[in-house]
């Protein structure tokens, strides 16, 4: 369609005039693009865990009603399944419902990292880890687009907080930007080729994402090969002309007649290359054609739309919720409960469950499994009592607390459903802390005074401070946000009809002050400094040797698994190894069938680069019956061992002895093996600004400098009785941080001509 740079487009619609081309670059209405001769209109709508289609009043904040659609677990919940295949199936189901609603592009998934536990939109994002995020998101996108509906991967990029989100600059260095905040985007773009990428509201290092040519053209198109349309978040464009020049194709929402006119005037004045206008128009036209073809592919005989099986989709939502529940603690094997046990279910969430976050992604579910109803269905109506415990006004607080204590004191066990409400965790605002509401903590303390068998079920889109919870809870289940099927899933796990198998996608700290981003969150004066660098999430807790409440990847089961062996075999890739297969032998030593999620971490103990102690590079799951032994294969790709080398300006794999670990969490290492990995050459250009250490580490540059230093080294050696000592041993350690140019002129006294000759020799070294 276009060249990667957008400078020489192949014109698909040569008969369209400049005004028409400009109009294709903005929406016709809130959710619809322009329609022109030969260019059909396209409907976009919010996702990403359900189709938030508004056939009536429209808005982007979830204020107006939307048509019913299956509410699958949001990303924060689905990520806890660690199941890419499940994500792909959900993507396919979303595509079917989107097509039925006439939607061509679903706005999602959101793949920004959970940099800080307080970020208000964490419920819409997968993880603190870019590998888990990228793998899960790539499969959701693949399932969605195989169903004929485009994805809009968002929010590109470094959108990791809500405070001042439409002005704030995310000030982040190149290495963490590449290794963390862009890495999942790169994987999804390269592996799943999304139809669209959505720009974020925020600035990146002082430049709005929608106006950032490096981001939208140099990186996204030229380097990654993106061939879709770049669209703005709703209201994210501050300067349409600058955005089109940078690489934006579609400004939403519409109509935006004044901005269209600005584009036309700038093009006619020569301030904006018309090639950019045509690039944008062609990208939008191609997108609308893709969507039209997707609609046609979904039609059956006679051109009638295929019916959506909402019952099947609800069952899929239940399956996904079940796979996403994490058993955090289970002292004395309190869980699973036996049907017929006298249980007090306490908490307003038992009747009105929190299934998703607030804001633009808020879906109107087709139905909702109510936890209390489902618990009674399995446990027995006459064996399950209920008390709200919290949720009323101040006048009701004492009565609700007393009712909860009464039912808890008469039960054999209490199940407390605690968490955050929509107004406590929503798009548009960050949290001030990670504490549970005070009325819920008072409820827990009061129940614990009369009941010592307590199960706490947590509902929230990001982590909570569990310090006041752990002393009172015998068992803790993390439900995150589970979508409309969560009630049945929780009941089945409580009573052992399903074995919990989810794993945390985010570290739960002992306190918020331990979070690596604590000192640099949120924005101040419209800037947020990413001062923790590459040490985000578990990388930061490990690097700083902080104890945590529950580590990344943690999750218990009703059965037990032993890791019997780990072998890592390289795949023959010619001159260098491109991937390895980690084979893990796992034994279910317990009494029930279960699913084990095996995590593969890598580390390079002798690295000369600053690195996290370990990083996730692969994962997979295996289902085993009691006593069964199975072998799980997990592929580790070379690209996941690479770091971003700032001087070289490229990804590099450092050579050395890597430790590959099969683990049950980032801090539950089961087996380790050492694998020798050949490194990439580090083609750093050496010049007069390079340090002596950098220059002497380069073989060719060292030859040049040896000739210059030899007379001085000989003199120094003679004075010390060691004239034959190598240069590195006598001088380099002392002067390694001095730039070459200043060493030559300031310390060795070479004149300008001599220094220039050295510079010229260094410049001829091939790279």
Q: What DSSP element (H or E) covers 478?
A: strand 475-478
Spatial separation of the C-alpha atoms in residues 55 and 53, rounded to whole Å: 6
Q: What DSSP element (H or E) covers 188?
A: helix 183-192
Spatial separation of the C-alpha atoms in residues 77 and 81, rounded to whole Å: 7
Is the C-alpha dihedral spanning 280, 286, 290, 293 positive or negative? positive
Q: How many other C-beta atoms can be found within 10 angstroms of the C-beta atom of residue 711?
A: 10
Q: Is 380 left (phi over 0), alpha (psi -120 to 50) or beta?
A: left
DSSP track, 79-137: GGG--HHHHHHHHHHHHHHHHHTT-SEEE--B-----STT-TTGGGS--S-HHHHHHHH
Enter the tokens of residue 271.
């301030």
Place of tokens 């006679």: 302
For residue 354, with 0-12 CB atoms within 10 Å meaning exposed, 13-18 middle and 19 or more buried, which class applies?
Answer: buried
What is residue 53's three-state secondary structure?
Answer: coil
Torsion angles phi and psi, residue 741, rounded to 5: -60, -45
For residue 289, with 0-12 CB atoms within 10 Å meaning exposed, 13-18 middle and 19 or more buried, which class applies?
Answer: middle
Place of tokens 């050295």: 758
Spatial separation of the C-alpha atoms in residues 31 and 66, rounded to whole Å: 13
What is residue 650's three-state secondary structure?
Answer: strand
Spatial separation of the C-alpha atoms in residues 565 and 242, rounded to whole Å: 57
Spatial separation of the C-alpha atoms in residues 595 and 593, rounded to whole Å: 7
Catalytic choice (83, 129, 233, 645): 233
- Cβ atoms 286, 229 nearer than 8 A: yes
- DSSP assigned state of 639: G
Is residue 233 part of the annotated active site? The answer reads yes
Spatial separation of the C-alpha atoms in residues 603 and 538, rounded to whole Å: 14
Q: What DSSP element (H or E) covers 677?
A: strand 668-677
Spatial separation of the C-alpha atoms in residues 633 and 74, rounded to whole Å: 28
Enter the tokens of residue 288.
């609308």
For residue 685, with 0-12 CB atoms within 10 Å meaning exposed, 13-18 middle and 19 or more buried, which class applies?
Answer: middle
- Cβ atoms 283, 87 nearer than 8 A: no
Whole-angstrom CA distances from 736 to 140, 700, 702, 720 are 49, 17, 13, 20
The candidate with the shortest Cα–Cα distance to 82, out of 505, 657, 703, is 505
Q: What letters, b where the CB count within 10 A reaches 16 and e where it falls short, cover 64-89?
A: eebbbbbbbbbbbbbbbbbbbebbbb
Torsion angles phi and psi, residue 447, rounded to 5: -65, -40
Torsion angles phi and psi, residue 693, rounded to 5: -60, -45
Active site residues: 233
């Amino acid at each position: 369609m276009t060249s990667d740079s957008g400078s020489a487009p192949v014109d698909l619609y040569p008969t369209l005039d400049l005004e028409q081309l400009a109009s294709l670059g903005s929406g016709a209405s809130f959710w619809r693009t322009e329609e022109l001769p030969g260019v059909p209109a396209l409907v976009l709508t919010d996702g990403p865990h359900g189709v938030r289609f508004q056939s009536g009043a429209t808005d982007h904040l979830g204020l107006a009603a939307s048509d019913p659609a299956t509410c699958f677990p949001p990303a924060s919940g689905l990520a806890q399944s660690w199941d890419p295949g499940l994500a792909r199936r959900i993507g396919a189901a979303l595509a079917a419902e989107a097509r039925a609603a006439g939607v061509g592009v679903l706005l999602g998934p959101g793949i920004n990292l959970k940099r800080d536990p307080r970020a208000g939109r964490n419920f819409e994002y997968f993880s603190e880890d870019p590998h888990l995020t990228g793998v899960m998101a790539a499969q959701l996108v693949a399932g969605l687009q195989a169903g004929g509906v485009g994805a809009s991967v968002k929010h590109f990029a470094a959108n990791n907080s809500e405070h001042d989100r439409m002005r704030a600059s995310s000030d982040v260095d190149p290495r963490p930007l590449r290794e963390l905040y862009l890495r999942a985007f790169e994987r999804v773009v390269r592996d799943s080729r999304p139809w669209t990428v959505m720009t974020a509201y925020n600035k990146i290092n002082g430049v709005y994402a929608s106006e950032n040519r490096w981001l939208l053209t140099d990186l996204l198109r030229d380097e990654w090969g993106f061939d879709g349309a770049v669209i703005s978040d709703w209201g994210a464009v501050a300067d349409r002309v600058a955005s089109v020049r940078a690489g934006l194709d579609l400004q939403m929402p519409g109509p935006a007649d004044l901005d269209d006119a600005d584009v036309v005037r700038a093009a006619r004045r020569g301030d904006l290359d018309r090639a950019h206008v045509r690039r944008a128009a062609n990208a939008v036209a191609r997108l609308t054609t893709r969507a039209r073809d997707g609609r046609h592919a979904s039609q059956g005989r006679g051109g009638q739309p295929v019916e959506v099986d909402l019952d099947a989709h609800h069952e899929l939502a239940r399956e996904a919720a079940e796979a996403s529940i994490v058993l955090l603690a289970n002292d004395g094997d309190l869980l699973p409960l036996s049907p017929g046990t006298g249980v007090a279910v306490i908490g307003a969430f038992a009747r009105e469950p929190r299934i998703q976050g607030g804001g633009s992604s808020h879906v109107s579910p087709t139905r909702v499994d109510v936890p209390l109803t489902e618990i009674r269905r399995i446990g027995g109506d006459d064996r399950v009592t209920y008390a709200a415990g919290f949720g009323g006004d101040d006048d009701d607080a004492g009565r609700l607390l007393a009712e909860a204590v009464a039912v808890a004191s008469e039960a054999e066990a209490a199940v407390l459903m605690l968490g955050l409400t929509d107004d406590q965790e929503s798009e548009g605002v960050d949290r001030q802390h990670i504490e549970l509401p005070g009325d819920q903590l008072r409820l827990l303390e009061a129940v614990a005074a009369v009941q010592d068998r307590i199960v706490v079920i947590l509902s929230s889109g990001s982590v909570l401070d569990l310090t006041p919870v752990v002393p009172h809870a015998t068992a803790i289940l993390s439900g995150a946000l589970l979508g409309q099927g969560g009630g049945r899933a929780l009941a089945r796990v409580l009573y052992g009809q399903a074995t919990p198998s989810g794993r945390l996608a985010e570290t739960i700290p002992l306190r918020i002050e331990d979070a690596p981003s604590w000192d640099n969150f949120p924005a101040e004066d419209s800037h947020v400094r990413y001062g923790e660098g590459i040490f985000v999430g578990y990388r930061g807790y490990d690097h700083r040797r902080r104890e945590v409440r529950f580590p990344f990847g943690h999750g218990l089961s009703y059965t037990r698994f032993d890791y019997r062996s780990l072998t890592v075999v390289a795949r023959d890739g010619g001159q260098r190894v491109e991937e390895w297969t980690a084979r893990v032998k796992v034994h279910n030593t317990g009494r029930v069938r279960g699913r084990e999620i095996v995590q593969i971490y890598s580390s390079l103990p002798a690295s000369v680069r600053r690195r996290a102690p370990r990083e996730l590079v692969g994962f997979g799951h295996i289902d085993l019956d009691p006593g069964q032994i199975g072998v799980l294969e997990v592929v580790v790709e070379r690209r996941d061992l690479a770091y971003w080398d700032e001087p070289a300006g490229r990804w590099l794999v450092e050579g050395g002895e890597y430790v590959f670990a099969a683990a049950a969490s980032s801090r539950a290492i089961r087996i380790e093996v050492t694998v020798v990995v050949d490194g990439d050459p580090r083609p750093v250009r050496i010049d007069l600004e390079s340090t002596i250490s950098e220059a002497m580490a380069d073989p060719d540059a060292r030859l040049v400098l040896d000739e210059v230093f030899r007379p001085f080294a000989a003199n120094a050696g003679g004075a010390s009785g060691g004239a034959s000592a190598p240069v590195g041993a006598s001088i380099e350690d002392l002067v390694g941080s001095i730039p070459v140019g200043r060493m030559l002129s300031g310390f060795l006294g070479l004149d300008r001509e001599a220094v220039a000759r050295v510079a010229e020799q260094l410049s001829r070294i091939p790279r």
